[in-house]
Amino acid sequence: MTHHRTLAPPVRRGGAPVIHAELQRHYDALYDQLLNRRPAREARPVLDVGTGDGLTLAAITQGSPLHGVGVDTAEPGHWLGPVGWSVIQADAQRLPFDDRSFRSALMVDVFEWLRHPAATLGEIARVTDGPILVVQTDWEGLWFQADKAEVGRHLVRAFTRGAPEQLRSRIRAASTEAGLEISGSSIATISAETLKPNGLAWDVLESIRRYLVIESAQVRARRFDDWRAELQRASDDGQFTMLLRRVVALLERATV
Ligand SMILES: C[S@@+](CC[C@H](N)C(=O)[O-])C[C@H]1O[C@@H](n2cnc3c(N)ncnc32)[C@H](O)[C@@H]1O
C-alpha cells in the first residue's frame, strides 16, 4: 500500500528538504511530551517506529542529546534523520529487541497504516520502559478555506478517503487492548495562512495533486489546477487558510 498521505516535505532537487516552519512549534511540543518531564539522558535510547527517511525525527530531536534506533518495514533509503542514530528494517509487530531496551518510543503518522494496531502497540510496549508518543494526522480535519468559505471539499475527501475515522477513539481502543494507559491525549491544530513554495500548504497541495491527478488519475489536471489557482488568489489577498489536526497520545504501561 502506498503512503500518499504524509506531511513530510518532498526531497527537492538540489538540496535537502526543509522542515516546514508551520510545524516547528508543534515539533517542539512533541519533544517536550516525549521527555515527559524527564531529563533527556533518562529518556534515551528512543525507538522511532516507522521512521521513513528520518526527517520528522530530526525535526523533533535536532539539537538535543537524544539518540536511539529508527525502524521501518521499508528498506532504509537516503537517511535525512539525526546523525548517530541506527536504522533497522523491521516490522513494528515483531521487533528485534529485548524487553525494555528503550526508555521512550515515538510513532508519527504510522498508526493509520497498522494492520493490527493493538498487537503493534503491545510489541512496542514490550521493548519500551517508558512513555510511547503516538502522533497521527487526523485527515478528516484537513480543510482549505478561501475568502471565508470552505473550498475543494470533494478533492480533499478523495485524497483522504480510507483514512481512519474517529481516530482518537481508535487509538484509545487499541491502547486499552494492548494493556496501555493513556496518560495524555490532545489535538494539535496546525494552520497555514499562505500558499508559497516550501510552505506546508504548498506541499500538501502537491501531494494531493500527485495522488489524484497522476497516481490514481481520479481528477483531471485542469480541475485541480483551477482549484489551486483559486486558493492562490485567496492567499495573495490574505484570505487563505489551510487547517489540519493531529491526535497526540502519550501511552504508558498500565500499572498493576
Ligand atoms: C507516512 S510515513 C511516516 C514517516 C515518518 N514517521 C514521518 O512522520 O514523516 C509511514 C511510515 O511507516 C512505515 N510503516 C508502516 N507500517 C509499519 C510497521 N508495521 N512497522 C514499521 N514501519 C511501518 C512505512 O514504511 C512508512 O515509512
How far apart CA 77 and CA 91 sit, in angstroms, is 16
Based on the number of CB atoms within 10 Å of its own CB, is 154 exposed (0-12), middle (13-18) or buried (19 or more)?
A: exposed
CA atoms within 13 A on the CB side of 241: 12
CA 76 to centroid of ligand 1, rounded, Å: 11
Instruction: Say what the pLDDT of residue 224 is.
Output: 97
CA 48 to centroid of ligand 1, rounded, Å: 10
Instruction: Say what the pLDDT of residue 1 is.
Output: 45
- In tens digits, the chain (256 residues) has pLDDT values of 457 899 988 877 666 778 899 999 999 999 999 999 999 999 999 999 999 999 999 999 989 999 999 999 999 888 999 999 999 999 999 999 999 999 999 999 999 999 999 999 999 999 999 999 999 999 999 999 999 899 999 999 999 999 999 999 999 999 999 999 999 999 999 999 999 998 999 999 999 999 999 999 999 999 999 999 999 999 999 999 999 999 999 999 877 6
Instruction: Please choose from 72, 111, 127 the residue to mutate so as to test ligand 1's pocket, defined by most ligand atoms within 8 A of CB.
Output: 72
Query: In 3D, which of 221, 254, 249 has the Cα closest to residue 34?
Result: 249
Q: Per CATH, the architecture of 21-253 is what?
A: 3-Layer(aba) Sandwich (3.40)
How far apart CA 184 and CA 182 sit, in angstroms, is 6
Angle formed by the axes of helices 200-209 and 153-160, nearest 10°: 70
Instruction: Say what the pLDDT of residue 8 is.
Output: 86
For 141-194, the DSSP string reads EEEEEETTEE--HHHHHHHHTTSPSSHHHHHHHHHHHTTEEEEEEEEEEEEE--
Question: Global pTM?
Answer: 0.95
CA 22 to centroid of ligand 1, rounded, Å: 22
Whose Cα sits closest to atom 8 in ligand 1?
108
Instruction: Say what the pLDDT of residue 211 is.
Output: 96
- List ligand 1's pocket residues with C-beta within 6 A: 3, 6, 8, 49-52, 56, 71-74, 91-93, 108-110, 113-114, 120
Residues 251, 181: contact at Cβ < 8 Å?
yes
- 143 DSSP β-pair partners: 243
Per-residue 3-state assignment (H helix, E strand, C coil) for 133-147: EEEEEEEEEEEEEEC
All structural domains of the chain with their residue ranges: 21-253
Q: How far is CA 224 from CA 51, 214, 220, in A?
A: 31, 11, 7
How far apart CA 51 and CA 108 sit, in angstroms, is 8
DSSP state of 248: E
CA 110 to centroid of ligand 1, rounded, Å: 5
Instruction: Say what the pLDDT of residue 2 is.
Output: 54
Which three cell numbers mark 3?
503512503
Instruction: Say what the pLDDT of residue 184 is.
Output: 94
